[in-house]
Structure 1
């Protein structure tokens, strides 16, 4: 996707160059410059290589949790580089403290995320091809007025080549919508090594749709109420403190918004909830079976990068006026360090009634709810994604993905709905004259390194069920719990069950006042199943969509559900490999990988720009507290006192 915004983001809370004792404080601009300088001076650095992604090399968890070692953890950067001249990928670890390259790894047969240089090269190769010029002129268009939209290959066409695909659009005059006028039937496959178009498809199968007035009404609202700046959010050495919550938010180049060291202060005691939470991988498969569409299967995290495609958040539009906005420093593929404004927002918002009870018509006790939202937005081609972590005072966590932007559409001869479910409308829905939107899915896998109290946790599958009529169910109304501990990694691939209201509880080794382990529970919300067939190649590359939950033993090298390098992969090098050892999970450091998703069947109301839809999940305390923690909040409103009646004389 050519028009995604390339920026390897490193979120900086303090001023650039300032020192931090927080081991997860993201690199400052000066740290990035130092790391790049040290890496390029190393004799092992390929001089023609480009930076693909640079982020903090995360310190070992055991050192972070060891108070005697935490203060002396060195600052290290991890950098993936790609040498196009040799088609080789390398990983560098740079110790910024000692100013040395501490490790270099050559990664065989791996194609990393795409860079701006890849897109520029593909654009140039296509435009110089005489078939492109002829095809565009034959359609009565000026080649200079056509945009070249470049994608990752979508399939492992050749493991030794860096392959891109190109599709074509006629942008509208305003430049606000590059995607509403596809040149259907035209596509190219490009080899960056040979600098050639290796495959050219040219079929005049549909007219180019008319331009759509995407923003026919004013989209800058002036009636948004102003909210006073928050007084309850504090940032101390990169750590955000709000109510009883403590955490460090980071924008990683690949995953985007990541939360580190999520803790809850309970009666003065700091209790661990999660070590790390992030969007690990995405898959967007399209359901159109034509050769021009079947390869459109985007791994938006592993092929393009969420962090490096962050976009600015605007007060009064993307976020409320009371938001704290933070900028980011980043390294581009040429090794330049740039600062990008307002890519992360932190704000309080009203959450409705937190709890309420009316003892009588005039005696009402209640509390107004308030949440903290940590938000980040990325644009991957035509789609806009808004990632939000929502923290509530009662200890609950909501992970929300907002989906908006512009649908990926195809040109068609159809101008109206035909109701036959055949022809061009067999795999797509008409949303405007000559415009079809193919059905597709979005899968979001979140890596949840929950450390409830400590690192010795147990994952339990909890089902609600009803036994058959009998001694256990005399009135045929029984509801019972079936609890089963996940003993090893191969048992850790689990499915949602609506029939059993299935949830997964992560318990610590500590007991609450009632004698039960303190715990948090994963509660599914937005779930879909893949329509890709079991033998579909993309499904073999994205096995994380097979089940909604995977549980694995913690491994500091395992971050991505589809593996480190899904671009042009021939199989899934992620979760299936992570589970291969079948490590024991009982009372171990366990990582959960949860996939939520949506199936998008387009409507005319989704065109020309989509109203935001949402995919969510919840992680809620279960016996973590001794009672409702909101009762300890100062915002609770007790029932009014009864007025004493005056005595009559």
Structure 2
């Protein structure tokens, strides 16, 4: 049976809040049905997503064990994969066990559960002390209601000309609170609520009700503090972006995307095959797409490249010390869930007309399954550049091949920002990880009408994009977890510095040469990009060679990056310690999944990569995981308002002596 899941039946402003959080989840569909075996549910692989029936079964087993009740809530529920060695040894047709992992919130108490679905029992139930889980939709809604019902809040907005009759047109956004060692905030489950005036505009982001923050303890059900830094005028310049608000230019001539003979890829369950690539794809409520068992067919030999790759964390700190802004230092994946906030893709706009669309099945706050439709798409495309070419001057002849790639695209809308993630597989054996940022800027209301106004209040924190509208400077740091298995799990990390050498002979006085170093421990593998000290970063298999004797490897290649400019002792920087370096290497541990730790919400800092690598474990010739963080500083332009043109950033995981030659050499000239 399928029905529409009602998120909330209260006032219309709550529905608008919900739309802001889940961006398209108003039509969530719950799939309800009898629990069955994994094979009956269509599960064909040990790494396949949990099905709707398996989510239901997880909840039933926890209830039967007497561990949960109707008041229990579930911030994240996901597949608990079998041991890595079990997955690697598994062959199609063999049976396999299915388990689920659940974070369980019971009042302020947190537990982690592992449920064996085949045996129908809870195999692990562990209390986790002194943590705050990711944010629940139900408490997010509740925090907004608490703020709106507070007498001091009502008085404060009244000073700004907002009457009770206007409340339904206000959009209140309960934001994650961060951690700043403030005594009154210790030990509380907090939201910091900022509001916007949605009257007469679709872009409420351009109408901040500035100077008011309600600090809400959602478990106590009260506003513990109201920050009111003074009345500021409401920006009134046009901020519309919809077709109804913006005069449209004439439609261009059609540009068709055609596959006359069908797709070049095919699915076998959740295994995807395309040309020489093969990988398993699943969708996770916290991090989005997870790519597993990535292999490349090298002249009939399927060779391992990566066991698993996925987003690990997304850190967005705004650079303002204003009392209503300093706490805006979001950990979007761990606090909100990049998968939970996935949005349905617009067909023929977000993806080509030929794309295949994928649905995700997640669990809601109460542990019940729902389907989020069209959250990912798969398509082929020509890159537009040749994958290789050469002009032979003697024969006056060119040879060139078109560059084709397979793309898996996923979009998540986290508050004001829309993030597009592309994992692109190339015929040259290279995997590109790209992300694009679009959506709205978070803006602050300031008194100035122009950048050269006499009143410069607040302007040190950003740039004006409209009268009385300041887009605040901020950063984006994306951390990716890459469990590389180059020709197998036993790998080493090698960094090769390009160093200037003194020439011993000839008219040259200098040249550069490679100085290789194999990292022995985690401390030895903490890498920061520096254009003055260039280096090649490679994951090497010391037991496999190409035909001229070099060990096979894959390189992690940067296409630009940034470092955090915050001080090491700043509270947000402590929480996001993974940004201290661009690259870390750890020995494989199945429970080390998230760069900022399992519970970044209101964390005190030091969790995740800084804590794990403090052990300084050996990493040579063993199963290793590479963590790559790509950062950018966003100084906002006028052209970024009211909607940010999608800005793309990327890095590559590319073969380096993995093959005996150019793997794209055999591409047909007719392709």
In angstroms, what is the RMSD of aligned CA positions?
Answer: 2.4
Does residue 537 of structure 2 align to residue 504 of structure 1?
A: yes
Distance in 1, matches of 2:121 and 2:299, equals 44
1:294 is displaced (CA, Å) by 0.9
- 1:642 corresponds to: none
Instruction: Report if the CA contact (8 A) 1:78-1:92 is conserved.
Output: yes
Distance 1:466 1:584 in 2: 30
Show the counterpart of 1:197: 223
SS at match of 1:594: strand
CA gap of 1:105–1:9, structure 2 versus 1, over 3 A, is: farther
Partner of 1:641: none
Whole-angstrom distance in 1 between the partners of 2:667 and 2:505: 41
Instruction: State the secondary structure of the residue aligned to 2:156.
Output: helix
Contact 2:78 2:284 in 1 (8 A): yes
Number of the residue aligned with 1:41 = 64
Which stretch shows the higher mean deviation, 286-295 or 302-311?
286-295
- Judging changes above 3 Å, is the alpha-carbon distance between structure 1 residues 258 and 179 closer, same or farther for their aligned structure 2 residues? same
Cα gap change, 1:88 to 1:402, in 2 (>3 Å): same
Which stretch of the first structure deviates more once superposed, 573-582 or 428-437? 573-582
Query: In the TM superposition, what is the alpha-carbon distance from 1:140 to its structure 2 partner?
Result: 1.7
Which segment drifts farther, 328-337 or 423-432?
328-337
User: Which residue of the other structure, out of 473, 478, 485, is the alignment partner of 2:511?
Assistant: 478
Worse-superposed segment, 475-484 or 516-525: 475-484
| CA shift for structure 1 position 173 | 3.5
* Secondary structure in structure 1 of the residue aligned to 2:421: strand
Aligned to 2:664, the other structure's residue is in SS state helix
Q: Helix, strand or coil: the match of 1:629?
A: coil
Q: CA deviation at 1:256?
A: 0.8
What does 1:528-539 correspond to in 2, within 5 Å?
528-539=562-573
Is structure 2 residue 149 aligned with structure 1 residue 123?
Answer: no
Q: Distance in 2 between matches of 1:221 and 1:205?
A: 44
> Is 2:382 the partner of 1:356?
no
Q: CA deviation at 1:338?
A: 1.7
Match of 1:375? 409
Can you list the C-alpha shifts for 1:331-369, whole angstroms capped at 9, x where unaligned?
111233221210011111111211111113741111011
Q: Which moved more, 1:492-501 or 1:257-266?
A: 492-501
* 1:503–1:524 contact (8 Å) kept in structure 2: no
Superposed counterparts of 1:223-234, under 5 Å: 223-229=253-259, 230-234=262-266
| Partner Cα separation in structure 2 for residue 600 and residue 563 of structure 1 | 25
1:206 and 1:413 in contact (8 A); partners too: yes
How far the C-alpha of 1:317 sits from its partner, in A, is 0.9
Q: Tell me the CA shift for residue 159 of structure 1.
A: 4.6
Alignment of 1:633 onto 2:650: no
Matched residue, 2:300: 268
CA offsets 1:54-93 (integer angstroms, 9 cap, x no match): 1111111011112479933311111112112xx0111111
1:143 positional shift: 2.4
Does 2:377 align with 1:345? Answer: yes
- Equivalent residue in structure 2 for 1:4, among 5, 15, 21: 21
Q: 1:292 aligns with which of 309, 320, 324?
A: 324
- TM-score (norm. length: structure 2): 0.90
| 2:466 is aligned with 1:432 | yes
Inter-partner Cα distance in structure 2 for 1:26 and 1:473 = 63
- The 1:600–1:345 alpha-carbon spacing in structure 2 relative to 1, beyond 3 Å, is same
Distance 1:121 1:227, change over 3 A: same
Moved more, 501-510 or 399-408: 501-510
Choose the corresponding residue for 1:107, options 121, 125, 128. Answer: 128
Cα distance in 1 for residues equivalent to 2:30 and 2:654: 30
- Residue 112 of structure 2 aligns with which residue? 91
**Helix, strand or coil: the match of 1:4?**
helix
Task: Name the counterpart of 1:23.
Answer: 46
- Residues 561-576 of structure 1 aligned to structure 2 (within 5 Å): 561-576=595-610
Q: Secondary structure of the residue that 2:320 maps to in structure 1?
A: coil
Distance 2:520 2:506 in 1: 30
SS of residue in 2 equivalent to 1:231: coil
Distance, in Å, in 2 between the alignment partners of 1:411 and 1:503 is 45
Which of 144, 163, 174 matches 2:168? 144
Match of residue 520 from structure 1: 554
Matched, 1:76 2:110: no
What is the deviation of 1:223?
4.7
8 Å contact from structure 1 (residues 528, 597) kept in 2? yes
CA distance in 2, matches of 1:475, 1:67: 58
Please, which moves more after superposition, 89-98 or 399-408?
89-98
Shift in Å, 1:18: 3.0
**SS of alignment partner, residue 303 of structure 1:** helix
**Local SS of the residue matching 2:59:** helix
CA distance in 2, matches of 1:112, 1:633: 49
| 2:245 matches 1:212 | no
The DSSP-based 3-state class of the residue aligned with 2:74 is strand
CA gap 1:223/1:250 in 2 versus in 1, 3 angstroms: farther
**Could you tell me which residue of structure 2 aligns to residue 256 of structure 1?**
288
Unaligned 5+ residue runs, structure 1?
638-649
Equivalent residue for 2:203? 177
1:163 aligns with 2:190: yes
Counterpart-to-counterpart distance in 1, 2:516 and 2:586: 19
Q: How far did residue 224 of structure 1 move?
A: 4.8
Residue equivalent to 1:645: none
Q: Is the 8 A contact 1:472 1:478 kept in 2?
A: no
Q: Give the corresponding residue for 2:363.
A: 331
Residue from 271, 289, 293 that aligns with 1:239:
271
Aligned positions of 1:482-631 closer than 5 A: 482-508=515-541, 509-631=543-665
Q: 1:26 to 1:421 in 2, by over 3 A?
A: farther
**Residues in 2 aligned to 1:370 and 1:17: alpha-carbon distance in whole angstroms:** 37
Tell me the secondary structure at the aligned position of residue 22 of structure 2: coil
Q: 1:10–1:27: 8 Å Cα contact kept in structure 2?
A: no
Give the Cα–Cα distance (whole angstroms) in 2 for the partners of residues 429 and 453 of structure 1. 49
Sort the Cα spacing of 1:355 and 1:421 in 2 relative to 1 into closer, same or farther, 3 A. Answer: farther
